[in-house]
Amino acid sequence: MSDNNRDILDYNRIDDDVTFVKGVGPRRASVLKKHGISTVYDLLLYTPRDYIDRRNITPINQLTPNTKATILAEVESYGMKFIRGGKKMYIVNVTDKIASLELIWFRNVKYFEGLFKEGDLLYISGKTSRTVFPQMVHPEFEFLFKGKEPLHTIGLVPLYPTTAELKKISLDSRGFRKIIKSALNKYIDALPDDLNPRIEKTANLISHKDAISLIHFPKTHKEIASAKRRLAFSELFYVELLLALQKRRNKLLRNGIKFKKAGELVSRLGKYLPFKLTSAQRRVIKDIFKDMNSPRVMRRLLQGDVGSGKTIVAALSCALAVENGYKSAVMVPTEVLAEQHYINFAKLFNRLKIETTLLTKSSRNKNEIYEKLKSDKECIVIGTHALIQEKVDINRLGLIVIDEQHRFGVRQRLDLISQNQRADLLVMTATPIPRSLAMTLYGDFDISIIDEMPPGRKRIKTLLAQEGSEHLIFDKIFDYAKRGEQVYIIYPLVEKSEKIDLRAAVDAYEKLKKTTVGKFGIGLLYGKMDMAEKSEVLDKFNRGEIKILISTTVVEVGIDSPKATLMVIIGAERFGLSQLHQLRGRVGRGESKAECILKLTHPPSDIAKQRIQAMLSSNNGFEIAEFDLKIRGPGEFLGVKQHGFPNFKFADITSDMELLRQARESAFQLISEDPKLELPENQTIKDYLRKRFRGVFRFADTV
């Protein structure tokens, strides 16, 4: 039998339809399927939500009223009794040879008839009544037969998630225990390993089989922890393995586009710039061009603090693609930002006679744009998610730039990659991620960092407004606007209290308009406005007709006015640290000095105090990120959801950083030693990868 057949046989067994498990008939199977359990393997991975500790057996004479306990005792007598109103109850007396206990059932009395015999041994778990004589009403019980392990009443007993529909077919915790136990008995030996002994040893892990058994029926809490650790490791290991494979593949992939060395167009664009590139900008452009000039596909992450000048780096990269007759696509998270970028790009590229196009969900002439994108002609398209919709078919796409990556998910990134395998990809983010984390999230990427601000930037003076200082703030706004500078006043807006939040911003707008600063031009901007209204306000702001812009957080990304020098953040205690820093980065982009005033509206929590303190003490994005990581922990810092990090069942990257590091190391080492997973000791991993990830990620097929 060939190797391949053997593997498939192995997997075929645990991928048996769940009806192969004793106790699961067609009816249960169809409900289970609705709950995502189709195969034996799915059932084995149906994990307890919790465990009840029934490890201690209490002697009956030590029972205290009204407490939960587990007892081992023998049946003395049993029988049905009639009670008032023609109702019945069933009573069983049990003894542990020292004392007796009465078990009582009022429901389903019939079920108990003929069930017990004198001398039967029972495990009993339940709550004692508040009576003098020991008594339990509706306890759980199990017969202790030779050779049959008790599942429900003794030990650390698993509790499974269930639903009304599952309960209807008796798949409550008790029901699940039974079918999972029989699945384990029948199939555990057929469970293929998902790692290899060497990795297990290095990472100090128990075996796959043990982990799956112990997660259901552990003897100690320590066993639960080891089982979870093993299962979490595997989850992280395979994500890292996929990244390692993708990275290797990028390196090998020679069917990328080999752009010619930068020529006239790029150099003309360079000449039109009103400033000299910083040396950090030049360095990262060199990195990017080197990637683009090679036949390998580029996957590069560009990190640079807000205001460090990433946009121009993107523009020059787009120019190189266009110069070679290809299209470039720039994807950004919001329509406001798309429009801003579009305006900036159009300004730069119109002079070079290069066409720029904007595609968002509000674009009117969509069909015309789709046609343009389908054509052979080079151009630059800037847009939102609208760019990755199915209808959009971009012909000769040479370069994709994703700006403000922290707003997109890993999923979206992988989508984009798989739709455009040949195109080079540049991902830009202003949320600096500490290196260890960046390596993990962008394991398949090379990283460039802009660690230098354009010259002439002054430190933004950050102040915490004292209580009752409203008039001082007002005077300041007046002074700035009078000097011809621009002011942002930012209000928080969260979905939960959206109406109240918006009210506060609108009220402030109406009120200020009537004061002496009204004559300088005041604008209002918030997310729910339609795009045309937003554009009008932004245009006026860009032209300087509006000096004071009151806004909810929509300016967080993208607005770039060198005249803006004062920012007032109202309710600063409600913003996250990275968000505060992003906001602050909107001012001080020109030559004059800038200020940021933080105004509290509620007494800050301890964490909010730390955030404010960090803002007052640092202007540096990388430092701020480190603070933020410390304050919030990695999970929240990354905004796991935002990053679209895969949904893990066992792993929690908030608390499993060390495990993540180990998993990553193991995975990358494995691929560097045995890139095609050809060694016999890695066969199990190869099988698992093929079996579990085929179709999910295309590149799982490439080993």
3-class SS string, 357-373: EEECCCCCCHHHHHHHH
What DSSP element (H or E) covers 177? helix 173-187
Q: What is the DSSP letter of 465?
A: P
Q: Give the chain's length.
A: 703
- Residue 486 CB, shortest distance to ligand ADP, in Å, is 13
Of 312, 321, 336, 354, which lies in the binding site for ligand ADP, with binding defined by CB under 6 A? 312
Cα separation, 67 vs 53, whole angstroms:
13
- Residue 284 CB, shortest distance to ligand ADP, in Å, is 11
Residue 536: alpha-carbon gap to chain centroid: 35
Cβ contact 280:308 at 8 Å? yes
Tokens of 508: 């402030």
Nearer residue to ligand ADP within complex by CB, 420 or 486: 486
| Stretch 36-75: interaction string toward ligand ADP, x if CB under 6 A | ----------------------------------------
* 501, amino acid identity: D
Strand blocks (E) in 404-563: 424-429, 446-450, 461-464, 486-490, 522-525, 548-551
Of 560, 623, 652, 665, which lies in the binding site for ligand ADP, with binding defined by CB under 6 A? 560
Cα separation, 209 vs 230, whole angstroms:
10
Nearer residue to ligand ADP within complex by CB, 66 or 279: 279
Nearer residue to ligand ADP within complex by CB, 194 or 404: 404
Nearer residue to ligand ADP within complex by CB, 128 or 561: 561
How many Cβ atoms from other residues are within 10 Å of residue 82's Cβ? 9
Of 69, 73, 179, 430, which lies in the binding site for ligand ADP, with binding defined by CB under 6 A? 430
- Residue 432 CB, shortest distance to ligand ADP, in Å, is 11
DSSP strand pairing (548-551 vs 486-490): parallel
Beta bridge pairs of residue 425: 299, 400
Of 134, 155, 218, 309, which lies in the binding site for ligand ADP, with binding defined by CB under 6 A? 309
- Residue 596 CB, shortest distance to ligand ADP, in Å, is 16
- Residue 655 CB, shortest distance to ligand ADP, in Å, is 32
What is the side-by-side order of every strand in the sheet holding 564-570? 461-464, 595-599, 564-570, 486-490, 548-551, 522-525
* 289, amino acid identity: F
Tokens of 345: 């790009």
Question: Could you tell me the CA-to-CA distances from 611 to 463, 557, 576, 579, 633 in Å, in that order?
Answer: 13, 20, 7, 10, 13
Is 307 a binding residue for ligand ADP by CB under 6 A? The answer is yes
Cβ neighbours of residue 619 closer than 8 Å, sequence gap 6 or more? 459, 460, 462
Classified as helix, coil or strand, 70 is strand
- Residue 585 CB, shortest distance to ligand ADP, in Å, is 6
Cβ neighbours of residue 155 closer than 8 Å, sequence gap 6 or more? 54, 55, 217, 219
- Residue 454 CB, shortest distance to ligand ADP, in Å, is 3
- Which residues inside 369-428 make contact with ligand ADP, applying CB under 6 A? none
Cα separation, 64 vs 99, whole angstroms:
13
- Residue 350 CB, shortest distance to ligand ADP, in Å, is 17
**Phi/psi of residue 525, nearest 5 degrees:** -140, 130
Q: Which residue is nearest to ligand ADP (CB)?
A: 309
DSSP strand pairing (155-159 vs 446-450): unpaired
Cβ neighbours of residue 361 closer than 8 Å, sequence gap 6 or more? 335, 384, 385, 386
Cβ contact 535:546 at 8 Å? no
- Residue 353 CB, shortest distance to ligand ADP, in Å, is 22
Is 304 a binding residue for ligand ADP by CB under 6 A? The answer is yes
Nearer residue to ligand ADP within complex by CB, 560 or 636: 560
Nearer residue to ligand ADP within complex by CB, 454 or 644: 454
How big is the site for ligand ADP, counted in residues (CB under 6 A)? 18
User: Which letter, b or e, does each residue of 455-489 get, where b requires 16 or more Cβ atoms within 10 Å of its Cβ?
Assistant: eebeebebbebeeeeeeebeebbbebbeeebbbbb
Nearer residue to ligand ADP within complex by CB, 341 or 643: 341
Of 63, 91, 169, 277, which lies in the binding site for ligand ADP, with binding defined by CB under 6 A? 277
Cβ contact 585:594 at 8 Å? no
Q: Which stretch binds ligand ADP (CB under 6 A): 67-75, 308-316, 570-578, 618-626?
A: 308-316
- Which residues inside 450-479 make contact with ligand ADP, applying CB under 6 A? 454
| Stretch 583-602: interaction string toward ligand ADP, x if CB under 6 A | ------x-------------
Nearest to 93 by CA among 110, 68, 73, 64: 73
Tokens of 211: 């982990």
- Residue 450 CB, shortest distance to ligand ADP, in Å, is 7
| Angle, in degrees to the nearest 10, between helices 264-272 and 335-350 | 110
Nearer residue to ligand ADP within complex by CB, 248 or 300: 300
- Residue 275 CB, shortest distance to ligand ADP, in Å, is 3
Nearer residue to ligand ADP within complex by CB, 307 or 492: 307
Question: Could you tell me the CA-to-CA distances from 201 to 207, 230, 482, 541 in Å, in that order?
Answer: 10, 11, 70, 62
Residue 399: alpha-carbon gap to chain centroid: 26
Cα separation, 690 vs 161, whole angstroms:
30
Nearer residue to ligand ADP within complex by CB, 329 or 677: 329
Nearer residue to ligand ADP within complex by CB, 340 or 363: 340
Tokens 């389908």 belong to: 374
- Residue 302 CB, shortest distance to ligand ADP, in Å, is 9
Is 278 a binding residue for ligand ADP by CB under 6 A? The answer is yes
Nearer residue to ligand ADP within complex by CB, 100 or 344: 344
Nearer residue to ligand ADP within complex by CB, 313 or 546: 313
Is 311 a binding residue for ligand ADP by CB under 6 A? The answer is yes
Of 178, 310, 407, 563, which lies in the binding site for ligand ADP, with binding defined by CB under 6 A? 310
Q: Which stretch binds ligand ADP (CB under 6 A): 269-277, 324-332, 378-386, 418-426?
A: 269-277
Nearer residue to ligand ADP within complex by CB, 86 or 455: 455
Longest distance between any two alpha carbons in the chain, whole Å = 101
Nearer residue to ligand ADP within complex by CB, 234 or 278: 278
Nearer residue to ligand ADP within complex by CB, 191 or 380: 380
- Residue 619 CB, shortest distance to ligand ADP, in Å, is 14
Of 251, 275, 435, 516, which lies in the binding site for ligand ADP, with binding defined by CB under 6 A? 275
- Residue 559 CB, shortest distance to ligand ADP, in Å, is 9
Binding site for ligand ADP (CB under 6 A): 275-278, 281, 304, 306-312, 430, 454, 560, 562, 589
